[in-house]
Amino acid sequence: MRMVLDMDTGVDDAVAMVLAMNSPEFEIEAITTVAGNAPVVQCTRNSLLITELLRPWDPPPVAHGACEPLVQSLIIAPEVHGHDGLGGLLDTLPTPHHAADSRPAVELITAIPHDGPDDVSLVASGPLTNLAIALRTDPTAMAAYRRIVVMGGAFNVPGNTGPVAEFNFYVDPEAASEVLSSGLDITIIPLDVTTSTALTRETLETLVKSGKRTDIPAPARPGRNLAAILYRALDYYMNFQEDESGLNGGFMHDALAVAAALFPSMITTRPASVEVVTSGPARGRSLVLPPVNGRAVNIAIGLDAGAFHRVLEERVLAPVWGST
Ligand code: BDR
Ligand code: CA
C-alpha cells in the first residue's frame, strides 16, 4: 500500500509516523507538513528528525507545507505538544542531517504517480490546509487517491478546542469544509473514537522498564536517541492531559488514523455528509447532515480498541523501547 502522510508533527503525529514507518504493509511515498500543533518549520524539522532516526539509510521525502490556515490566523497548541511540537525539547534535539524536499508539500501531494485507482492512500493528521490547496490546484490528482483518512471532528462528544470543536477542524475550518464536501473517498476518525481509549502511562512505563533502554528518562539531552526523545515528548503530552482531565495517559488520535488506514476492519463507519462551521462561537464544529449525492464521507463510529492497542504495542512501543 503506497501512502502519503500529511502531518502537523506534534507528539501523537510522531507516534503515528513511527507506526506507519514500522508497518511493512506501507510504502511511505512522502511526509508533508502543515502548521497546526506547532509552526510548520518546526513540524518539518520534527518530521525530518524522526524519519531519519527511524530509517537513517533511506528516509522518505519530507516536504514543507502551508504555514497558515486558508483564512484564519494560525493557532498552535504549545500547552499540549510543547512550543516545538515535541514536548519542548527543541534546544536539546539534534539538527536533522537531511534537508526537506525542494518541492512544496502541495506539489508533492499532487505529483505522486498513481498506477491505478486503488494505488495510493493518504492520512491527514493535522489541519486540512495542504489538502484544500491541493484540491484547488489539481482536483484530478486528488481524485486519484484511493482513500483519504482524516483525523478530525467531534460529533457526539465535547470538543478539545473549546466546547464543541476538535483542534484540526478548529484551526482551519474553511479547509476542512472544502475537503469534506469534495466528494473524495474520505474516512473521518473523530474524537468520538480517538478518546474512547488511551495509551496509559502505566503501559508506557511498564514497557520502558521491561525493555533494554533503561537509560531513557535519565539524560537531560536525549541526543540522537528516538526512545529518549519520544519518551520525553509523551511524558509532556501525558502531563498536559493529566492536568486537564485527570487522564493518566494520552490519546493517540493520529496513530488511530494510521491504524485505520492499515486495518480498515479495526473501525466501523457510517456514511454521512459533514458540514464544518467556519465562524462564530461554534467555529470548527462538525455537523452530520443526511448524505447528499456523491458528497458523503465515512465517519468512524466504533473501534476495536484491543486490536488498536496490539498494533500500537507491536509496531511502536516494543520496537522503540526495545522490549522485543
Ligand atoms: C488532533 O489535534 C492535535 O493536537 C493532535 O495531533 C490531533 O491531530 C486532536 O484533536
Ligand atoms: Ca495532529
SS3 string of 225-264? CHHHHHHHHHHHHHHHHHHHHCCCEECCHHHHHHHHHHCH
Q: Which residues fall within 8 angstroms of residue 9, CB to CB, at 6 or more apart? A: 17, 33, 37, 38, 42, 43, 44, 46, 47, 50, 85, 86, 126
- Cell representation of residue 303: 473501534
Ligand 1 center to 9 CA (angstroms): 9
Mean of the per-residue pLDDT values for the chain? 93
Contact assessment for residue 193 and residue 303, using Cβ atoms and an 8 Å cutoff: yes
- Cα angle 213, 37, 277 (rounded to 5 degrees) comes to 140
Give the separation between CA 65 and CA 315, rounded to whole angstroms: 27
Where do the domains of the chain lie? 2-321
Does residue 238 have a pLDDT over 60?
Answer: yes
Ligand 2 center to 118 CA (angstroms): 25
0.85 exceeded by pTM:
yes
Q: Average pLDDT of 106-132?
A: 92
**Of 145, 191, 148, which Cα lies nearest the Cα of 167?**
191
Atom of ligand 1 nearest to the CA of 254: 8
Ligand 2 center to 12 CA (angstroms): 6
Q: Which residues fall within 8 angstroms of residue 147, CB to CB, at 6 or more apart? A: 121, 122, 185, 186, 187, 261
Give the separation between CA 34 and CA 135, rounded to whole angstroms: 15
Atom of ligand 1 nearest to the CA of 8: 6
Active site residue 309: no
- Does 171 contact ligand 1 (Cβ within 6 A)? no
**Pocket probe mutation, ligand 1, options 167, 245, 251, 258, max atoms within 8 Å of Cβ:** 167
- Does 241 contact ligand 1 (Cβ within 6 A)? no
- Active-site residue among 81, 83, 97, 253? 253
Beta strands in the chain (DSSP E): 2-7, 27-33, 62-63, 120-124, 147-151, 186-189, 199-200, 249-250, 267-276, 286-289, 297-303
Top CATH class, 2-321: alpha beta
Beta-bridge partner residues of 123: 5, 149
Ligand 2 center to 115 CA (angstroms): 29
The DSSP code sequence of 135-158 is HHH-HHHHHT-SEEEEE---SSS-
- Reported as a single tens digit per residue, the pLDDT across 134-162 is 999 999 999 999 999 999 999 999 999 99
- Does 195 contact ligand 1 (Cβ within 6 A)? no
Helix (H, G, I), strand (E, B) or coil at 75: coil
- Residue owning grid cell 484511493: 146
- Does 189 contact ligand 1 (Cβ within 6 A)? no
What single DSSP character describes residue 100?
P
**Pocket probe mutation, ligand 1, options 160, 191, 285, max atoms within 8 Å of Cβ:** 160
237 pLDDT band (50/70/90 cuts)? very high
- Does 154 contact ligand 1 (Cβ within 6 A)? no
Contact assessment for residue 19 and residue 28, using Cβ atoms and an 8 Å cutoff: no
Predicted local confidence at residue 311, as pLDDT = 97
**Pocket probe mutation, ligand 1, options 125, 149, 196, 237, max atoms within 8 Å of Cβ:** 125
- Does 166 contact ligand 1 (Cβ within 6 A)? yes
- Reported as a single tens digit per residue, the pLDDT across 21-71 is 999 999 999 999 999 999 999 999 999 999 999 998 889 999 999 999 999
Helices (H) and strands (E) in the chain, counts: 14, 11
Does residue 218 have a pLDDT over 50?
Answer: no
